[in-house]
Amino acid sequence: MAAPASFDVTSTVDLQEVDNALNQARKEVGQRYDFKGSKASIEFERAASKLVLVADDNFKLDALWEILQTRLVRRNVPTKNLTRGTAVPAANGTVRQEVALQQGITSDAARDIARFIKDAKLRKVQATIQGDQLRITSSSKDELQDVMRLLREQDFGLALQFGNYRG
C-alpha cells in the first residue's frame, strides 16, 4: 500500500509586504491634493496584527482605505484576510478605524473547511485541524489535487495557501 501523502492548508499575511504597502500608501497620501493639510495617517501595530486609519471625516477615511487596499493588492497581500472595523470619532474631530489582519485559520473556518471536504465525498481523504491550520491526508495524490481544486473554487472568507506537501 502506498504511503499517505499530505499537505497543509494555511491562511497567512506577509507582514513585511503589509509594511511595504503601508509605506507606499503613506507616500501617496502625502502627495495627493485632497489630503493636503488634513490629519490622515495609517499606523501598523505589528504585535496586535492590526492597522489603524485616522482621517478628518468618513469621506477621507474611505479614500484612505481605497488607497491602502490598492497598495495591498499590488503587493499581493490577500485583502480577504482584512476585517474592517467601524469608524469611531477620535480626538480633534477626526475619525478612527481599526482593520484587523487575520493570521491563521479560525476554528470555525477550519470546521467549515473540514465539513466541506467531508461533504465532497472524496474517498480516503482526511482533514485534521492542527491549531490554526489544516492537514489534509490521503493515499492518493490525485485526491489531494482534487481537494486543492475544490478549495480554490469555494469561498471561505479567507485567502487559503497550500504548502508543506509531502508525498
Instruction: Say if residue 1's pLDDT is above 80.
Output: no
Inter-residue contact 134 to 6 (CB < 8 Å): no
Helices 141-153, 107-119: inter-axial angle, 10-degree rounding: 120
If one looks up domain 5-12+105-166 in CATH, what number appears? 3.30.70.860
Q: Cell numbers at residue 162, please?
A: 497550500
- Which whole number is the average pLDDT over 73-100? 89
User: What's the pLDDT at 96?
Assistant: 92
Q: Out of 36-40, 105-109, 119-123, which region has the weakest mean confidence (pLDDT)?
A: 119-123
The set of residues, in sequence order, having a beta carbon less than 8 Å from that of 23 and lying 6+ positions away, is none
Q: What percent of the chain has pLDDT over 90?
A: 31
Confidence of residue 166 (pLDDT cuts 50, 70, 90): confident
Domain ranges of the chain: 5-12+105-166, 15-101
* Domains 5-12+105-166 and 15-101 belong to one CATH topology: yes
Phi, psi for residue 143 in degrees, rounded to 5: -60, -40
Instruction: Say if residue 167's pLDDT is above 80.
Output: no
- Which whole number is the average pLDDT over 58-72? 92
Confidence of residue 36 (pLDDT cuts 50, 70, 90): confident
User: What's the pLDDT at 2?
Assistant: 63
Inter-residue contact 113 to 93 (CB < 8 Å): no
pLDDT in tens, 89-108: 888 888 999 999 988 888 88
Does the structural domain 15-101 have CATH classification 2.102.10.10?
Answer: no
